[in-house]
């Protein structure tokens, strides 16, 4: 029995020497913001407010800056007041109800031969006229509501909102300055972060989207490893350098990882 165990142990060591061990290689990578945008206003004018400064965090839809808009605000108030007035529609409804009651009475009198055909025709015509006037009142109200939407859209173009949650990288203007087709702030999205790695041509075809990878970062003087997955692999090689790019996403909900940080990507053969 001891001899059998000794032989099996020898076979195991022999297999370990022959079988290849899965190796991993490290490649340089760079951590960058997922998106960086320069935010400009849709129209020109004098800045009434700039609500953020460099380093501030912003939420999606947050108002970043706004132009002086007193005229546009007055236009919105005026069109809303006009649209909310329902007196014209109410008046035309009352006229139609009255015309229908009169027409019904004339119709009964006509059947009793106490009203002429002309009187009946006039009563019916008055109903048709009242119906048309009510329709015009409804159309006028609808157009007034559209005017409100238009005035609100004009006013909205004078506000600058953040398209996503992120951080202010740069502020270029302050309140009181005149701006025209120029950026007011630069905003970066840092959750998630984008990681770009460059691999040699011999690794082309050996990595694919969804494949696991480790990102090695140096934070506070110590190495930290984040397990992520490859998001995108360039479909062509760069002929000049003999390399191709790999993209990964790195979650950063607590903003603990700074963008611009160098890293190493570790993947197995």
CA distances from 200 to 233, 244, 264 (A): 13, 7, 14
Task: Tell me the whole-structure pTM to 2 decimals.
Answer: 0.71
Q: Are 141 and 92 in contact (CB under 8 A)?
A: no
Separation between Cα atoms, residue 170 and residue 110, nearest integer Å: 83
Q: Which residue has the tokens 């290689």?
A: 25
pLDDT in tens, 52-90: 999 999 999 999 999 999 999 999 999 998 888 778 888
Whether domain 20-67+167-268 has CATH 2.40.30.170: yes
- Which residue, 83, 92, 84, is CA-closest to 126? 92
Distance CA 73, CA 115 (A): 57
The pLDDT mean for the chain works out to 89
- CA torsion sign for 211, 212, 217, 219 is positive
Kind and range of the H or E run holding 194: strand 183-200
pLDDT at 214 over 70: yes
Query: How many whole angstroms separate alpha carbon 180 and alpha carbon 41?
Result: 8
pLDDT in tens, 139-189: 988 999 999 999 999 999 999 999 999 999 999 999 999 999 899 999 999
Instruction: State pLDDT tens for residues 7-43.
Output: 444 444 444 444 444 457 899 999 999 999 999 999 9
What confidence score (pLDDT) does residue 9 get?
41
């Amino acid at each position: 029995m001891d001899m059998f165990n000794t032989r099996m142990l020898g076979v195991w060591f022999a297999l370990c020497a022959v079988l290849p061990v899965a190796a991993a290689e490290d490649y340089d990578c760079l951590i960058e913001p997922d998106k960086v945008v320069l935010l400009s206003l849709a129209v020109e004018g004098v800045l009434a407010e700039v609500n953020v400064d460099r380093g501030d965090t912003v939420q999606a839809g947050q108002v970043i800056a706004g132009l002086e808009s007193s005229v546009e605000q007055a236009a919105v108030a005026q069109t809303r007041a006009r649209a909310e007035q329902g007196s014209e529609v109410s008046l035309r409804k009352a006229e139609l109800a009255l015309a229908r009651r009169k027409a019904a009475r004339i119709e009964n009198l006509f059947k009793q031969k106490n009203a002429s055909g002309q009187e009946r025709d006039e009563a019916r015509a008055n109903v048709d006229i009242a119906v048309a006037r009510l329709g015009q009142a409804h159309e006028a109200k609808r157009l007034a509501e559209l005017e409100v939407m238009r005035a609100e859209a004009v006013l909205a173009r004078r506000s600058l909102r953040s398209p996503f949650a992120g951080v202010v990288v740069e502020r270029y203007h302050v309140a009181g300055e005149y701006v025209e087709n120029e950026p007011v702030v630069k905003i970066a999205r840092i959750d998630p972060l984008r990681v770009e790695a460059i691999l040699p041509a011999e690794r082309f075809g050996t990595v694919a989207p969804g494949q696991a990878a480790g990102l090695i970062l140096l934070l506070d003087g110590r190495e930290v490893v984040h397990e992520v997955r490859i998001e995108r692999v360039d479909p062509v090689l760069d002929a000049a350098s003999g390399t191709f790019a790999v993209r990964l996403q790195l979650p950063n909900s607590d903003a603990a990882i700074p963008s611009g940080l160098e890293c190493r990507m570790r993947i197995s053969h």
